Structures are given as structure tokens and as C-alpha cells.
Amino acid sequence: MINKFDLIIVGGGMVGATLACALADTQLQIAVIEPNIPAAFSLDQAHALRVSALNIASENIFKNIGVWQGIISRRSCVYRRLKTWELDAQRGATLFDSTEQGVDHLGHIVENNVIQQALLEKMSQANNIKLFVQKTRSIDVQPGATLVELEDNQQLIGKLIVGADGGNSLVRDAAGIGIHSWDYAQSALVISVTMSTAQQDITWQQFTPTGPLAFLPLSGNSASLVWYNNPAAIKRLMALNEVAFLEELQASFPDALDQVTAVISKGAFPLKRQHAQQYIKEGVALIGDAAHMIHPLAGQGVNIGLLDAAQLAQCLLAASGEQMSSADEYAHSTRADISSLAVLNEYERLRRRHNLLVMQLMDSFYKVFTNNNGPLKVLRNIGLGIAGHLTPAKKKVMALAMGLEGPLPELAKR
Ligand SMILES: Cc1cc2nc3c(=O)[nH]c(=O)nc-3n(C[C@H](O)[C@H](O)[C@H](O)COP(=O)(O)OP(=O)(O)OC[C@H]3O[C@@H](n4cnc5c(N)ncnc54)[C@H](O)[C@@H]3O)c2cc1C
């Protein structure tokens, strides 16, 4: 028997599950395929290695789809200040403070599996979403009737297939959508630690010629550190024994890092920039890392992926005659085929432009800060502003990073 759906979402990670939740309890019949379900959460478990800095737009999306409470009731850490400085800073540091933006906080650091769990919980309560905990064996893309075969031989047919299956997207390949891609000459070593100090409300980053060193606070006296360097240097660090690693960590990170009492876990991530040549085809849409991967130095990857999910949901609801109440621009929409280019074009038009802007900004940070020549040093001082002065450029970059600016879908607004 073939199961029929309006929408098949391949990948129930943070972005795919957000799309499903944004369409919960509508007329659309939705299948979500996700083989990796996180284990049940318990407050006394150690912090997971993978965490995300969620901005205000992401918080709004999660509030509007009813999962924010599920996230913060598990575990999260609010941050109100963000500080950046250079290794040989003669001009001092740049501090972004939530009060400068007229908001209570800049964002929250949350473990990825906590976000995914809160979303899966919400999905399980919806009457129109079916979760398949399976690997995908094959995808035959046919506009309006794509056939998906799962590892356990089940077959699904969907009018629209959404690739939310990450950087190595099977959906993208099955749809024949190419990518523009290059490797950054950098890897990120993510380190989950416990500290001698209690919970902090600041996230900071020191720029060095070999790459940034970053601190992200977690709840209690835990923290997540990110050590960027060339892949060979990261490989060497990964191979050190516990004592040698801790010594080198403490010696390499700036004094702003209080004493690290233990390394809980660590993992290395090669970094690449990747952008799908198209986000859509008739009957296909890509969201999140399946559409774009960017340098994580300013923590924007999942934030822009969540905007994709919110925007696509808005376009699909408008097309199926279930427009969101506050989306005036769709107030007079009539029913349309959700797999049609007429519907999907709007999603690509709005999201591609914004994602490209964020990607270019991350690339310029990467190029300007991973470089020690004179003119670029001058440029970065101008770009970030001199200690404490909130230049218009700095304010604009901050508003973009916080998700307060750009073509925001309705769900990302307060
Ligand atoms: C070191 C590092 C730090 C980062 N920090 C931040 C940060 O602070 N803030 C931020 O915004 N972003 C950050 N990012 C980026 C962020 O992690 C990604 O953008 C985000 O995980 C993308 O989510 P996604 O759901 O699109 O893809 P993924 O997280 O890759 O999820 C894809 C899902 O699809 C599933 N899947 C894969 N293949 C299949 C298949 N064939 N069938 C079914 N399911 C499949 C997988 O199991 C997975 O659950 C960071 C990235 C790195 C590397």
C-alpha cells in the first residue's frame, strides 16, 4: 500500500521539524522522515556537544508555533551581551549589549537535541503529521507525485517533497539541483566544558590570525567553547590526551575564560560554504542546510534555516487557503497547487536574497578577521567600530544577526 501525503519532509532535524510544526493541525497531510531521534531528555544529563545560538527571530518562530516553552522548560541559557576583540587589540573590544538594541536579551544558547525534542513533542500532538523513523532508500522526483521508498520498504507519495536533510541532501541530489561550494581553510573544534564560574550572560569571541576562539555560556557552570584553526592544527588538538589538551586550551584561550574544570566532550567539524543553485523545482523545495551552509562564526546557520521553514509554511498555507491571520499580503489568496512554481517561487525569491546577504556577511567576517595585513586591520576596526561606539554599521549588522531586520516571515515577528 502506498501512503499519500500533500507534503513529505525528508529530515526531521531542527529545520524540517519546525516546518512540520508550523503546518500542524491544518488540512495538509504531512509525512516527516527522520532516522535519528534524540534520546529522552533528563535535566541531570551532561550538556550535549552541539549547541546553537538562537536569535530573536528564531525565538519568535518557536513561540508562534508553540514549542518555546518546551525548549526553555528543558534547558537553555540566555545571553544579553556579546563581546569581540582581537588578539593584539590596541583599540579595545567591541561590546554589543541588549539594552543598546532596546531588548531584554540578544538570544539563547540551546542544545540542538533539546530543540529537536521540543519540536518532535509538538509534532506528535498534531493530527495531520505522521513521523517515519526510517532511513530513506530512494526518491523518484515527479512534479506533483514524488515517490519515496523507505528502508523498511514502505512507499510514500507526496505532492511536494521538502529537502530538510542537511548539507548532503538526498532530496537535492534526487531533484538534480547543483551546488556552489568551497571549503573554508578552517575546522571548528567544539568543546563542552564545566567551569569554575556560575552561569554567565555573555558570549564572546577573540579573533586571532588563525581563527576565532569563542565562548558560549550554557546553563549552570557549563559552557561551549569553539576553537577555529586550520584542519591540521585541529587534528593535532583532537589527538592530545585529556591533560595536555586542557593545558593547551587554558594557555591558548584568552584570560576572559575562567578556569575550565573539566572537558566533557569535544568534536571537530570541517567548515564549508555551500549554496544550492536553486531552492525549488516544480514539486520540490529545499530548506535549511540542504539549501545553504555558512561559516558558523556568527552563529547564523540554523537561524536562517528556521526563517526558510517559516517562510515556506507561510507560502504553503496561503496557497492552500489557510493563510495566517496576520499575513495581510495573502489575505485574498485562493487555493493553488502547493507543488506549483507559482507558489514556490515566492519562497525562493524572499529567502534566497536574505540568505545570500547573511552568507556574504559571514564570508567577509571570515576573510577580514582571518588575516593580519594592515589595510584589513584598519577595515575591521572601521567595520566593528571603536570600543563602545555604536556606529550605524554596527547597529545594522547586529539587527541582522538578531533577526530583527530583513524580509521576515509572519511567524518570525513578535
Ligand atoms: C560548529 C558549528 C556550530 C554552529 N553553531 C551555530 C549557532 O550557534 N547558531 C546557528 O544558527 N547555527 C549554528 N550552526 C549551524 C547549524 O548547526 C546548522 O545550520 C543546522 O544544524 C541546520 O539544521 P538542518 O535541520 O537544516 O540540518 P541538520 O541539522 O543537518 O539536520 C538534518 C536532518 O536530516 C536527517 N537526514 C539526513 N539525511 C536523511 C535522509 N536521507 N532521510 C531522512 N532524514 C535524513 C538527519 O538525521 C538530520 O536530523 C553551527 C554549525 C557548526 C558546524
Residue 16 lies in a domain: yes
Are residues 265 and 278 part of one domain?
Answer: no
Are residues 246 and 381 part of one domain?
Answer: no
The domain boundary, picked from 228, 244, 270, lies at 270
Residue 317 lies in a domain: yes
Residue 93 lies in a domain: no
Residue 300 lies in a domain: yes
DSSP codes of every residue in 352-373: HHHHHHHHHHHHHHHHHHS---
Asked if the model's pLDDT at residue 254 lies above 90, the reply is: yes
Task: State the pLDDT at residue 385.
Answer: 45
| Cα-Cα-Cα-Cα dihedral sign, residues 328, 332, 337, 342 | negative
Residue 260 belongs to domain with CATH number: 3.30.9.10
Q: Ligand 1 within 6 A of 269 CB?
A: yes
The domain boundary, picked from 242, 270, 298, lies at 270
Task: State the pLDDT at residue 330.
Answer: 39
pLDDT band for 377, please (50, 70, 90 cuts): low
Task: State the pLDDT at residue 396.
Answer: 76
Residue 87 lies in a domain: no
Q: Which atom of ligand 1 is nearest to the CA of 109?
A: 8
Are residues 309 and 177 part of one domain?
Answer: yes
Which cell is 256 given? 576572559
CA of 12 to the centre of ligand 1 (A): 10
8 Å CB contact between 214 and 226: yes
Are residues 240 and 342 part of one domain?
Answer: no
Q: Which atom of ligand 1 is nearest to the CA of 14?
A: 25
Are residues 43 and 132 part of one domain?
Answer: yes
Are residues 394 and 254 part of one domain?
Answer: no
Are residues 29 and 175 part of one domain?
Answer: yes
Ligand 1, atom 4, residue with closest C-alpha: 296
Q: Ligand 1 within 6 A of 190 CB?
A: yes
Task: State the pLDDT at residue 397.
Answer: 76
Residue 80 lies in a domain: no
Q: Give the amino acid at 275.
A: H
Domain hosting 232: range is 185-270
Q: Give the amino acid at 151.
A: E
Are residues 263 and 170 part of one domain?
Answer: no
Task: State the pLDDT at residue 332.
Answer: 40
Residue 404 lies in a domain: yes
* CA 290/CA 167 separation, integer angstroms: 5
pLDDT band for 89, please (50, 70, 90 cuts): low
8 Å CB contact between 266 and 190: yes
**pTM across the whole model:** 0.94
The domain boundary, picked from 218, 240, 270, lies at 270
Q: How many CA atoms lie within 13 A of 132 on its CB side?
A: 23
Are residues 221 and 366 part of one domain?
Answer: no
- Give the alpha-carbon dihedral of 299, 302, 303, 307, to 10 degrees: 160
Q: Ligand 1 within 6 A of 189 CB?
A: no
121, burial (CB in 10 Å: exposed 0-12, middle 13-18, buried 19+): middle
Mean of all residue pLDDT scores within the chain: 91
Q: Ligand 1 within 6 A of 31 CB?
A: no
Q: Ligand 1 within 6 A of 302 CB?
A: yes
Residue 363 belongs to domain with CATH number: 3.50.50.60
Average pLDDT rounded to a whole number, residues 317-326: 76
8 Å CB contact between 82 and 203: yes
Average pLDDT rounded to a whole number, residues 31-47: 96
Residue 86 lies in a domain: no
Are residues 240 and 286 part of one domain?
Answer: no
Asked if the model's pLDDT at residue 87 lies above 90, the reply is: no
CB atoms within 10 A of CB 277: 9
Are residues 145 and 28 part of one domain?
Answer: yes
Total domains, the chain:
2
* CA 67/CA 123 separation, integer angstroms: 10
Task: State the pLDDT at residue 327.
Answer: 43
